[in-house]
């Protein structure tokens, strides 16, 4: 009898989590229009689940402009570095701090990205850093479960008043290693981060227990869709074994009031001048890297670009 009760409880909990995941995937999804704003319902979804998805945040023309610049040999791709994920895959990325003058900087400062994040986080934000994540076909590496604040806390950021916008450049599916998130996990607070395989990640035992209470959602996106998420939201992604690459452009923001108390490899507070959304299609310096500073966390070397690079 006891065994039957345990099995029934596990079955009921699994059904509950499945239903919750389905609910989360409808209540935290919005479609961008020119009058999109962080309404009380949008804010409530972000506060409850730790994220919102905005479909078509960037239209096809804007996505093409961004992809062309990122794929150009004259652009940021020249500063790419790779890391083994410890499971036979390879993680390729480019990481920089200041937004600069290229199209990634314009997009990071535009109202529909930076302005939306300011409203979600409740105050002025600045460009903490940005990165291009490249999960190449068949070889793209995995990221273990983690919270961004699990790392940023160590950088002297006292409060978790931080968030990231992840913009899909390619279609993101379960097959090519899309993000997985645990809705509501940001409300648990910061979890200890330890060595998990070859990566620093959230304590595995704690994550296992959390998954008994909270659902899991696969964040499948179309090019131009964006995920806005809180720095304490648990997320991970699996290797890309498909024949389709998955590239994503991510911008991390910190509240101006949360200026890091120590110097580290990411930016301390620098005022950020927001630009209108129309500036994206008007950008004529799409691959000009002037003002950016590229870094490799493994070496903490920083390469500052002081001269105009676009040809």
Give the per-residue pLDDT at 311: 43
Tell me whether residue 310 is in a domain: no
* 242: number of Cβ within 10 Å: 16
Tell me whether residue 184 is in a domain: yes
Tell me whether residue 215 is in a domain: yes
Give the per-residue pLDDT at 2: 58
Q: Is 91 left (phi over 0), alpha (psi -120 to 50) or beta?
A: beta
Supply the range of the domain harboring residue 84.
2-304
What is the dihedral sign for C-alpha 92, 293, 167, 253? positive
* 258: number of Cβ within 10 Å: 21
Give the per-residue pLDDT at 302: 77
Tell me whether residue 94 is in a domain: yes
Give the per-residue pLDDT at 186: 98
Environment class of residue 146 by beta-carbon count within 10 Å: exposed (0-12), middle (13-18) or buried (19+)? Answer: buried
Tell me whether residue 309 is in a domain: no
How many Å apart are CA 79 and CA 285, to the nearest integer? Answer: 18
Cβ proximity of 181 and 145 under 8 Å: no
Tell me whether residue 311 is in a domain: no
The total number of structural domains in the chain stands at 1
pLDDT digits (tens, 9 = 90+) for 83-120: 888 889 998 999 999 999 899 999 999 999 999 999 99
* 282: number of Cβ within 10 Å: 9
Domain with residue 166: its CATH number is: 2.60.120.620
Cβ proximity of 294 and 302 under 8 Å: yes
Question: By C-alpha distance, which of 138, 290, 166, 168 is closest to 233?
Answer: 166
Give the per-residue pLDDT at 25: 63
Tell me whether residue 123 is in a domain: yes
How many Å apart are CA 184 and CA 188, to the nearest integer? Answer: 8
**Sequential pLDDT tens for the chain (311 residues):** 555 555 555 566 667 677 666 666 677 999 999 999 999 999 999 999 999 999 999 999 999 999 999 999 989 999 999 988 888 999 899 999 999 989 999 999 999 999 999 999 999 999 999 999 999 999 999 999 999 999 999 999 999 999 999 999 999 999 999 999 999 999 999 999 998 878 899 999 999 999 999 999 999 999 999 999 999 999 999 999 999 999 999 999 999 999 999 998 899 999 999 999 999 999 999 999 999 999 887 776 778 776 665 54
Give the per-residue pLDDT at 86: 86
Tell me whether residue 168 is in a domain: yes
Cβ proximity of 206 and 99 under 8 Å: no
Cβ proximity of 48 and 217 under 8 Å: no
What is the 3-class SS of the chain, one letter each residue?
A: CHHHHHHHHHHHHHHHHHHHHHHHHHHCEEECCCCCCCCHHHHHHHHHHCEEEEECCCCHHHHHHHHHHHHCCCCHHHHCEEEECCCCCEEEEEEECCCCCCHHHHHHHEHHHHHHHHHHHCCCEEEEEEEEEEECCCCECCEEEECHHHHHHHHCCCCCCEEEEEEECCCECCCCCCEEECCCHHHHCCCCEEEECCEEEECHHHHHHHCCCCCCEEECECCCCEEEEECCCCEEECCECCCCCEEEEEEEEEEHHHCCCCCCCCCCCCCCCCECCCHHHHCCCCCCCCCCEEEECCCCEEEECCCCCCC
């Amino acid at each position: 009898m006891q065994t039957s009760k345990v099995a029934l409880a596990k079955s009921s909990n699994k059904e509950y989590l499945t239903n919750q995941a389905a609910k989360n995937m409808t209540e935290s999804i919005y479609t961008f229009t020119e009058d999109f704003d962080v309404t009380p319902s949008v804010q409530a979804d972000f506060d409850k689940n730790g994220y919102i998805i905005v479909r078509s945040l960037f239209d096809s023309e804007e996505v093409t402009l961004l992809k062309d610049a990122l794929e150009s040999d004259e652009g940021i791709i020249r500063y790419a570095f790779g890391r083994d994920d410890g499971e036979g895959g390879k993680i390729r990325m480019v990481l920089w701090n200041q937004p600069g003058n290229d199209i990634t900087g314009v997009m990071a400062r535009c109202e529909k990205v930076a302005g939306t994040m300011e409203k979600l986080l409740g105050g002025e934000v600045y460009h903490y850093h940005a990165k291009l994540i490249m999960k190449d076909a068949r070889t793209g590496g995995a990221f273990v479960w983690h919270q961004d604040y699990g790392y940023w806390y160590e950088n002297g950021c006292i409060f978790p008043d931080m968030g990231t916008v992840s913009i899909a450049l390619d279609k993101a599916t379960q097959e090519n290693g899309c993000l997985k998130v645990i809705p509501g996990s940001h409300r648990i607070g910061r979890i200890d981060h330890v060595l998990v395989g070859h990566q620093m990640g959230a304590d595995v035992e704690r994550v296992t227990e959390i998954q008994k209470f909270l659902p899991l959602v696969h964040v499948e996106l179309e090019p131009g869709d964006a995920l806005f998420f809180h720095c304490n939201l648990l997320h991970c992604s699996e290797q890309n074994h498909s024949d389709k690459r998955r590239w994503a452009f991510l911008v991390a923001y910190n509240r101006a009031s949360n200026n890091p108390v120590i110097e580290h490899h990411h930016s301390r507070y620098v005022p950020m001048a927001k630009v209108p959304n129309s500036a994206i299609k008007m950008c004529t310096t799409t691959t000009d890297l002037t003002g950016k500073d590229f870094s490799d966390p493994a070496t903490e070397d920083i390469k500052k670009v002081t001269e105009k690079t676009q040809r």
